[in-house]
């Protein structure tokens, strides 16, 4: 019979298997002896990322002090003191004191943003920022005529009342070319502006948008203003040569009357301009 396997070939195959086995054993020995377990022969320099950060909670240097900008004082309605009021359907004029200075305002004019809107006999209405403010007329506490009522005993004893003494002192004498005015009468009206508005009406006249004098709208009969020779319709143009071209000019003239010895009113009556002369003593 023919053999199924060639003995020579079987021997060669067995020899090859034995050789492979030896190589495998040698490789395993070298791997155990010389190579690391992970199979990489170097250490990797890996640093774990920190889970926190260093923060300076207390800096070495103290922070610079916060410098506050100064707040600008704007002023308030309390800074306004109402001294006098003239109110009519045609015109509203007030005199007031603001931070020590006296000013004259007409309707629609403002002081420190407070706009004059109207007035009554004893108050003025201002608006600012959509709000309305009412300022009452200042009451004088000085013992002027009419400020203190006389007792019944004094009246019975024959003492004159303030109103009687006021009439006696406040005479106006016509001497022809001029009139003599008692100074006590001037003193009274410079201290009691409201008494002026009760006896005479005055409103401004404007020309090209500027004040060009003050027209007299009425004069009460028997009052000192009627005795001064003023009439309804007269236009006051100047006082002692100073044109009345603004409320300030009119108020300055009003304040200076008490310090003068004579007074000259320049008026326009109809189409004629004339002067009225007064002596004050």
Contact 169, 185 (CB under 8 A): yes
Alpha-carbon torsion, ordered 104, 109, 115, 119, to 10 deg: 60
What's the chain's average pLDDT? 76
263 forms beta bridges with 278
Whole-angstrom distance, CA of residue 273 vs CA of residue 212:
14
The CATH number given to 77-136 is 2.30.30.830
The CATH number given to 169-280 is 2.30.42.10
Token pair of 139, please?
């009451």
Token pair of 150, please?
């006389």
The distance of Cα 55 from the centroid of its chain, to the nearest Å, equals 48
**Every domain range in the chain assigned CATH 2.30.42.10:** 169-280
Nearest to 200 by CA among 224, 181, 182: 224
Query: Which tens digits make up the pLDDT trace of 162-187?
Result: 444 344 457 889 888 899 999 888 88
Whole-angstrom distance, CA of residue 248 vs CA of residue 238:
13
Query: Which tens digits make up the pLDDT trace of 33-83?
Result: 665 555 555 555 556 655 555 655 555 666 666 655 544 444 578 888 888
**What pLDDT, on the 0 to 100 scale, is given for residue 166?**
41
**Every domain range in the chain assigned CATH 2.30.30.830:** 77-136
Crossing angle of helices 183-191/162-169, nearest 10°?
Answer: 130
């Amino acid at each position: 019979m023919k053999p199924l396997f060639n003995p020579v070939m079987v021997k060669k195959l067995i020899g090859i298997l034995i050789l492979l086995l030896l190589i495998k054993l040698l490789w395993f020995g070298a791997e155990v002896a010389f190579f690391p377990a992970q199979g990489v022969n170097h250490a990797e320099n890996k640093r774990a990322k920190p889970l926190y950060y260093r923060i300076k909670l207390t800096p070495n240097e103290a922070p610079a002090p916060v410098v506050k900008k100064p707040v600008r004082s704007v002023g308030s309605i309390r800074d306004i003191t109402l001294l006098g009021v003239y109110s009519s359907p045609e015109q509203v004029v007030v005199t007031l004191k603001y931070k020590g200075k006296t000013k004259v305002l007409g309707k629609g004019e403002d002081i420190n943003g407070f706009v004059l809107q109207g007035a009554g006999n004893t108050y003025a209405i201002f608006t600012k920022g959509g709000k309305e403010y009412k300022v009452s007329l200042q009451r004088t506490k000085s013992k002027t005529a009419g400020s203190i009522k006389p007792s019944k005993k004094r009246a019975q004893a024959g003492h004159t009342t303030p109103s009687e003494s006021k009439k006696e002192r406040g005479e106006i004498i016509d001497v022809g070319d001029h009139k003599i005015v008692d100074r006590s009468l001037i003193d009274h009206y410079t201290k009691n502006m409201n008494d002026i508005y009760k006896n005479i009406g005055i409103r401004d006249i404007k020309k090209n948008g500027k004040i060009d004098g003050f027209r007299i709208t009425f004069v009460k009969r028997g009052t000192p203003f009627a005795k001064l020779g003023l009439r309804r319709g007269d236009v006051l143009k100047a006082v002692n040569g100073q044109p009345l071209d603004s409320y300030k000019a009119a108020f300055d003239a009003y304040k200076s009357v008490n310090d003068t010895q004579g007074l000259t009113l320049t008026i326009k009556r109809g189409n004629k301009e004339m002067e009225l002369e007064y002596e004050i003593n």
